[in-house]
Amino acid sequence: MPPKKSKTKKSVKKVVELEAFAPRAAAWLAMNPDHDAVKSQIASKFKISQSDAETVLKLAKERLALAADVDLRLELGTRREQLNDLLNRARDAGDLRVELATLQELSKLSNVYAAPVVFDSEESVESPVEALARKHLESLDLAPAGLPLEELARRVAGSALDKGRDGLQLRLRAEHTGTRALSERGGLSRRL
């Protein structure tokens, strides 16, 4: 009596054959979440039965689950390690371009770069330096608040020219040192 062929060997062979369809089926599944539509698409495109299409769909789901299971901390650590190795090699070789590019990439990876500061109005986007300049110029009370920064600076400069250099320098130094009372009495102007 001849030995019986194992049904499992046949089914394993079939699964291995169907495994070749899984990458394309995974892409279709990622684009279309309707499992029945993807199953019928698999059956028609690959010319296989509905039960085989169900197996391919199951394999595609497994592939998507494996692809989605990424440990972000591990990936970031690996990337940092690679960049640090590249940085060390660039330093040893004296390659400043590669060293700078690697440092920039490390900074991006570490979220070192700050996002731009956005103020109340949507059209007005000022950097932190511009915001600090605006705050200081408005505190001088030489021009109305709320003007565009360029206009505010122009008016403050015009007021400074009208009042004279010494008067503005006196006021700026008084605000900087916190001795406004001294400047009003004229005590500070004698020292300038």
Question: Per-residue pLDDT for the chain (192 aa), expressed as one digit of tens each?
Answer: 555 555 555 577 777 888 888 888 888 888 888 888 888 988 998 899 998 889 988 988 888 888 777 777 788 888 899 999 999 999 999 999 999 999 988 888 877 665 555 555 545 567 788 888 888 888 877 777 778 888 888 887 777 666 655 555 555 555 555 444 444 445 444 444
Q: What is the rounded (10 degree) CA torsion for 54, 58, 61, 62? A: -160
Distance CA 104, CA 106 (A): 5
* Listed residue (102, 101, 112) closest to 79, CA to CA: 102
Tokens representing 62 are 């497994």
Helices (H) and strands (E) in the chain, counts: 11, 0
Q: Which amino acid is at 168?
A: L
pLDDT value at residue 7: 52
Report whether 109 contacts 79 (CB < 8 A).
yes
pLDDT value at residue 188: 43
Q: Phi and psi dihedrals of 191, rounded to 5? A: -80, -20
- The most distant pair of C-alpha atoms in the chain lies apart, rounded to whole Å, by 123
* Listed residue (60, 68, 66, 65) closest to 29, CA to CA: 60
* Listed residue (102, 76, 78) closest to 89, CA to CA: 102
Q: Phi and psi dihedrals of 34, rounded to 5? A: -80, 105
Distance CA 187, CA 192 (A): 10
pLDDT value at residue 8: 56
